Amino acid sequence: MSWWPFGRKKEEQPPWLNAYLKEARKSIPGIRKIQQLSFVVLDTEATGFDPKKDELLSCGIIGIEEEKIKISSSKEWQFASEKSPGKSATIHGLIHPKNPIELKTFCQELLGNLRGSIIVGHHIGFDLDLLCKTFQPFGFNQFPNPKIDTMNLAVRLDFGPQVDWNRVRKEDYSLDALCEKFNIPKEDRHTAGGDAFLTAQLLLKLLKQAEKKGILTYQELFR
Amino acid sequence: MANVIVNRVQEFLKKHPPFSFLNQDDLASVASQIEIQYHEKGEILFEKGDAPEAHFFILKEGQIELKDGEETKDFCDEGDVFGVLALLGKRPYILTAAVLENSLVYCIPVNAFEEILQRNSKVALFFAAGFASGQVVIRQDLSAGQKARGIFKKDNNDHSLLIFSDQSEIRFSENVVCIAAESSIQQAAEKMAEKEVSSVVIINSEKYPVGIITDKDLRTKVVAKAISLDLPVKQIMSSPVVTKKRDSSFSDLYLSMIKNRLHHLILTEDGSAESPVCGILSDHDVLLSMGNSPAVLINALLNTTDLTEMRAIRDRAETMLRYYLENEVSMDFVASVMTEINDVIIQQATKIARSKLAPEFPEMQGIKFAFISLGSEGREEQLLRTDQDNALIYEDLPASVQVKAANYFHLMGSEIVEVLLACGFASCPGEIMASNPKWVQPLSKWKEYFSEWILSPTQESLMQASIFFDFRKITGSSSLTDELSAHIYEEIQSKKAFLSFMAQNALKNPPPLGFFKDFMVEKSGEHRDQFDIKARAMMPLADLARLLVLSHGITGINNTFKRFEKLGQLEPNYESLFNQAGKAYEILMRMRALEGLQNDNSGRFISPEHMGKLQRQLLKNTFSPLAELQDIMEVRFQLAYFRK
């Protein structure tokens, strides 16, 4: 237990983390059709909106394979937070976790589910920053998987890839607004699982739009 | 592992058959295996002839057309299950599924369901019934829907099958006619004749049932084969026997009779055949336990003037009604029986009132009068004891006796109304009852009323017309009502414009469905979020039927579905539409009555939220003839001019 942080990072990583990193770093061939891509839609709820300060309360994921939402792949984890729930808790209505689990188990399970999939989420950056921070004790610092932010995807489909962000009204691209636009009933909103499910339905609909615009492959999707 | 997402999927599934028949565990297991697809307008989900997928589908949102070539076979809406051939026959799809509106489709893996199919007879029956089996369900054909309804129980919370509706009271014979296995056929036949039974149970020395002989066995195995009557009964008995425990539930007993094609079910102490016989249930007993016969009830009514007893009999009639409704007895028959019973009650009530008033008004006894029912009872459609609408007509009298007569008939009308209230008929909120002096009048005054409604139709008079034009004499002198009818039709002939006003009024009823094909529910008040089946579905049809028969100058047919039947004969080019409308009305009557029986109210307000998928579809189907009829009326009575 030295305070000296350099020189022995890699060796400290447990094998399950290595297995994940190896798979997540694999590159996906650019010509792969969207239908063949596997996605994992992820959402977290936290004690607040600052990934540096706030803590993870719950996390939900659901997988999409061959453009089908697989309910069997849906998972939800709840945590006991030491920090008293702040501002965000009033939105999520989460105070007492139902079924708290150990952090390590969670990390192993989550990464086992992510593997080589594309990670999808609405404002996914926030969720991943929060998870990275949470997983720091295991020497984890980044998700190498390709990522899609459904908000960016929706904006891109409306404005094209060279979007001038000043012209975009952000509130039109909130999860709520998009659910309304795409006629997705906002059920179980502000639960990690519920939001992940909504985002998954949103992704299906966005991908259909994308296909209509000639975005058919992995490289076109990520251009 | 159940989570928010699985729960959400489960919530959706459990509203729709066949998933509604699943228990919690099975439902959760199915829900967790579902896959969700999204398809945009114009896509093809599967083509006719394609090999079946490993899943069948339930539509979450959107619309899918099932077609054979260019011919549309069916439309699937939210909650419809389709593509189940994969589940049943593993044959190629017989139809093509094209996406009409952007659709979210839930795919249910076949193997998730196969095991459930083995275990859950209700689910199996659902598919066996041909429903959603990829077979065509032609929405327009209401009679198919009517049949389908028989399979499903009315109860919204419990989507179990109709035939399992539990009858708490079941009567079976406890004195079972038994005979020892060594007895001869001759002895068995003698015993059956002596006890006047159709079956005899063969028992061993411990009184355990070993076989059974029925009338049919004697015919087919003895007489037809000409075997000796001295042979032991063992030779011809049916064995082994199916037994049940004596205190099993009715549905359990009934079901095992159906399953085993039994006419007689033997009940034993512990339910096995290794236990003494203690009862026998025949299908005749089943029938008897299910309801009382109308003849018995009417006879009982005719022989009593005791209010408590009359009420009790009317209550029993309701039990019978429920049995009829649930067992798909024809609406014509059901309505006739209930009308007959209601009429008898009114006739008895009149008798009671007259005998009570006779000592005080001896001079009034010879005056002709008629007690008329209006509204639904007038149309012979009152199944439940909803509001009473009635009135009284008496003959025109010289001024000298008029005042006294008015008093007498008012007292009489009030008395009758009181008796009806005591029998459970609700009072009319609009005071259209024979206890209201306004509606107890001599014939000439009644003619005036009608002339006024016809000649100067105001909003209010049109509303009243809809009730009064359906009058029907229940008791008293027909000559009065005949004369009134004749007067009305004469007036209408001379003022045809009245019909246009009536038509306009008939089209004013609020629409049943909103823009998005959802039920228009009440926005506020006590019945918020409930669907007013009377105002939005039944009244419009009743109004149209009345209007049309009046325009044809037909008298004497009051019943709405009979009116449609008659109209079909008069206007052959619209025959199928009128038949549909008549059927729709029958379905609505049935639904409303069942709803009312269920909740012990008038059944007028139904919560679409709590309805099963099938019922909702069935209800929606009833609206289609209405919309078509309204369009025709619009043209026929030139209503476009009227609005201006």
> Can you give the CATH number for the domain in which B16 is found?
2.60.120.10
> Can you give the CATH number for the domain in which B269 is found?
3.10.580.10
**Is pLDDT larger for residue B31 or for residue B77?**
B31
pLDDT over 70, % of chain B? 85
8 Å CB contact of B4 and A204:
no
Q: What is the spatial distance between Cα B152 and Cα B159, in angstroms, rounded to a whole number? A: 7
Write down the pLDDT at residue B1: 46
In single-letter form, the type of residue at position B339 comes to T
Residues B110-158: tens digit of each pLDDT: 888 777 877 776 676 666 554 333 333 322 233 333 333 333 333 332 2
Lowest mean pLDDT among A185-199, B41-55, B485-499, B607-621: B607-621
8 Å CB contact of B36 and A75:
no
Kindly state whether residue B172 falls inside one of the protein's structural domains.
no
Helix (H, G, I), strand (E, B) or coil at B251: helix
Task: Give just the sign of the alpha carbon dihedral A19, A20, A23, A27.
Answer: negative
Q: What is the DSSP string of B482-537?
A: HHHHHHHHHHHHH-THHHHHHHHHHTTSPPSB-TTS-B----SSTTTT-EEHIIII
8 Å CB contact of B6 and A74:
yes
Lowest mean pLDDT among A173-187, B275-289, B487-501: B275-289
Kindly state whether residue A90 falls inside one of the protein's structural domains.
yes
> What would the mean pLDDT of A117-146 be, rounded to a whole number?
91
Q: What is the spatial distance between Cα A131 and Cα A54, in angstroms, rounded to a whole number? A: 11
> Can you give the CATH number for the domain in which A41 is found?
3.30.420.10
8 Å CB contact of B4 and A68:
no
- Write phi, then psi, for A4 (nearest 5 degrees): -75, 115
Burial readout B589-620 (b: 16 or more C-beta within 10 A, e: otherwise)? bbbbbbbbbeeeebbbbbebeebbbbbbbbbb
8 Å CB contact of B33 and A72:
yes
Q: Which two tokens stand for residue B229?
A: 């009557």
Contact by Cβ (8 Å): B592, B541: no
Range of B261-275, B389-403, B488-502 with top mean pLDDT:
B389-403
Domain that holds residue A143: 35-221
Q: What is the spatial distance between Cα B437 and Cα B419, in angstroms, rounded to a whole number? A: 17
Q: Is the domain of B95 the same as that of B206?
A: no
B contacts of A38 (beta carbons < 8 Å): none
B contacts of A205 (beta carbons < 8 Å): 38, 102
Which among A74, A196, A208 has the least Cβ separation from residue B40? Answer: A208
Kindly state whether residue B409 falls inside one of the protein's structural domains.
yes
Kindly state whether residue A89 falls inside one of the protein's structural domains.
yes
Kindly state whether residue A159 falls inside one of the protein's structural domains.
yes
Terminal alpha carbon distance of chain B: 64
Q: Is the domain of B260 the same as that of B320?
A: no
> What would the mean pLDDT of B495-522 be, rounded to a whole number?
77
8 Å CB contact of A194 and B61:
no
Which among A71, A204, A208 has the least Cβ separation from residue B5? Answer: A71
> What would the mean pLDDT of B401-416 be, rounded to a whole number?
91
Range of A100-109, B48-57, B144-153, B380-389 with top mean pLDDT:
B380-389
Q: What part of B 93-112 touches A (C-beta under 8 Å)?
A: 102, 104, 107
Q: Is the domain of B513 the same as that of B592?
A: yes
Closest residue in B to A65 (Cα–Cα)? B35
Closest residue in A to B35 (Cα–Cα)? A70
Range of A1-10, B285-294, B472-481, B513-522 with top mean pLDDT:
B472-481
Terminal alpha carbon distance of chain A: 44
Write down the pLDDT at residue A194: 92
Number of domains forming the structure of chain B? 4
A contacts of B1 (beta carbons < 8 Å): 75
**Is pLDDT larger for residue B76 or for residue A119?**
A119
B contacts of A183 (beta carbons < 8 Å): 61, 102
Domain boundary among B239, B268, B290: B290
Partners of residue B391 on adjacent β-strands: B372
The closest alpha carbon to B454, from B390, B497, B483, belongs to B497
Q: Is the domain of B301 the same as that of B258?
A: no
Kindly state whether residue B146 falls inside one of the protein's structural domains.
no
> What would the mean pLDDT of A194-200 be, rounded to a whole number?
94
> What would the mean pLDDT of B170-177 be, rounded to a whole number?
73
Closest residue in A to B37 (Cα–Cα)? A68
Write down the pLDDT at residue B349: 93
Q: Is the domain of B279 the same as that of B312?
A: no
Write down the pLDDT at residue A7: 53
Which among B32, B61, B102 has the least Cβ separation from residue A71? Answer: B32
Confidence of residue B463 (pLDDT cuts 50, 70, 90): confident
**Is pLDDT larger for residue B556 or for residue B490?**
B490
Angle between helices B575-599 and B331-357 (to 10 degrees): 60
Confidence of residue A195 (pLDDT cuts 50, 70, 90): very high
Mutate to test the interface with B, among A41, A64, A74 (most CBs of B within 10 A): A74
Confidence of residue B75 (pLDDT cuts 50, 70, 90): confident
Q: Is the domain of B319 the same as that of B434?
A: yes
Number of domains forming the structure of chain A? 1
Residues B328-346: tens digit of each pLDDT: 777 877 888 888 889 989 9
Q: What angle is formed at CA B540 by the lines to CA B535 and CA B544, rounded to 5 degrees?
A: 155
Q: Which two tokens stand for residue B431?
A: 């005071």
The yes-or-no verdict on residue A96 having pLDDT over 50 is no
Lowest mean pLDDT among A57-61, B416-420, B464-468: B464-468
**Is pLDDT larger for residue A24 or for residue A6?**
A24
**Is pLDDT larger for residue A88 or for residue B242?**
B242
Write down the pLDDT at residue B444: 93
Beta sheet of B243-245, edge-to-edge order: B243-245, B264-268, B277-282
Q: B42 vs chain A: nearest CA distance in angstroms? A: 12
For chain B, counts of helices (H) and of strands (E): 25, 18
Domain that holds residue B586: 504-643
Which among A60, A71, A196 has the least Cβ separation from residue B33? Answer: A71
Q: B536 vs chain A: nearest CA distance in angstroms? A: 28
Range of B173-187, B193-207, B470-484 with top mean pLDDT:
B470-484
Confidence of residue B641 (pLDDT cuts 50, 70, 90): low
Write down the pLDDT at residue B530: 84
How long, in residues, is chain B? 644
Q: Is the domain of B246 the same as that of B275?
A: yes
Q: How many beta-carbon pairs below 8 A join chains A and B?
A: 66
The yes-or-no verdict on residue A190 having pLDDT over 90 is no
Kindly state whether residue B25 falls inside one of the protein's structural domains.
yes
- Write phi, then psi, for B629 (nearest 5 degrees): -60, -40
Kindly state whether residue B83 falls inside one of the protein's structural domains.
yes
Write down the pLDDT at residue A2: 54
Residues B546-599: tens digit of each pLDDT: 889 888 888 778 889 889 999 999 999 888 889 889 988 988 898 888 888 888
Q: What is the DSSP string of B260-301?
A: TT-SEEEEESSSSSSS-EEEEEEHHHHHHHH---HHHHHHHH
Q: Is B461 exposed, middle or buried (0-12, 13-18, 19+ CB in 10 A)?
A: buried
Query: Mean of the per-residue pLDDT values for chain B?
Result: 80
Q: Is the domain of B300 the same as that of B447?
A: yes
Contact by Cβ (8 Å): B241, B212: yes
Kindly state whether residue A1 falls inside one of the protein's structural domains.
no
Q: Is the domain of B550 the same as that of B482?
A: no
**Is pLDDT larger for residue B372 or for residue B48?**
B372
Confidence of residue B159 (pLDDT cuts 50, 70, 90): very low
Kindly state whether residue B189 falls inside one of the protein's structural domains.
yes
CA A177 to chain centre: 19
Q: B375 vs chain A: nearest CA distance in angstroms? A: 43
Residues B239-291: tens digit of each pLDDT: 888 888 877 766 567 667 756 667 788 888 888 888 888 888 876 666 555 44
8 Å CB contact of A188 and B8:
yes
pLDDT over 90, % of chain A? 41
Q: B85 vs chain A: nearest CA distance in angstroms? A: 21
The answer to whether B287 contacts chain A (CB < 8 Å) is: no
CA B87 to chain centre: 32
Kindly state whether residue B462 falls inside one of the protein's structural domains.
no
8 Å CB contact of A72 and B32:
yes
Kindly state whether residue A16 falls inside one of the protein's structural domains.
no
Confidence of residue A173 (pLDDT cuts 50, 70, 90): very high
8 Å CB contact of A60 and B33:
no
Write down the pLDDT at residue B135: 39
B contacts of A62 (beta carbons < 8 Å): 5
B179: left (phi over 0), alpha (psi -120 to 50) or beta: beta
Kindly state whether residue A15 falls inside one of the protein's structural domains.
no
8 Å CB contact of A62 and B31:
no
Kindly state whether residue A205 falls inside one of the protein's structural domains.
yes
Q: Are strands A56-65 and A68-78 parallel, antiparallel or unpaired?
A: antiparallel
Which among B4, B31, B107 has the least Cβ separation from residue A193? Answer: B4
Kindly state whether residue B154 falls inside one of the protein's structural domains.
no
Closest residue in B to A77 (Cα–Cα)? B3
8 Å CB contact of A183 and B61:
yes
Q: B45 vs chain A: nearest CA distance in angstroms? A: 13
Q: Is the domain of B598 the same as that of B530?
A: yes
The yes-or-no verdict on residue A201 having pLDDT over 90 is yes
The closest alpha carbon to B556, from B489, B630, B465, belongs to B489
Residues 6+ apart with CB under 8 A from B373: B342, B343, B346, B388, B389, B390, B471, B472, B474
Q: What part of A 34-93 touches B (C-beta under 8 Å)?
A: 60, 62, 67-72, 74-76
Write down the pLDDT at residue B517: 66
Q: Which residue has the tokens 């044959």?
A: B91
Q: Is the domain of B250 the same as that of B303?
A: no
Q: Is the domain of B284 the same as that of B306?
A: no
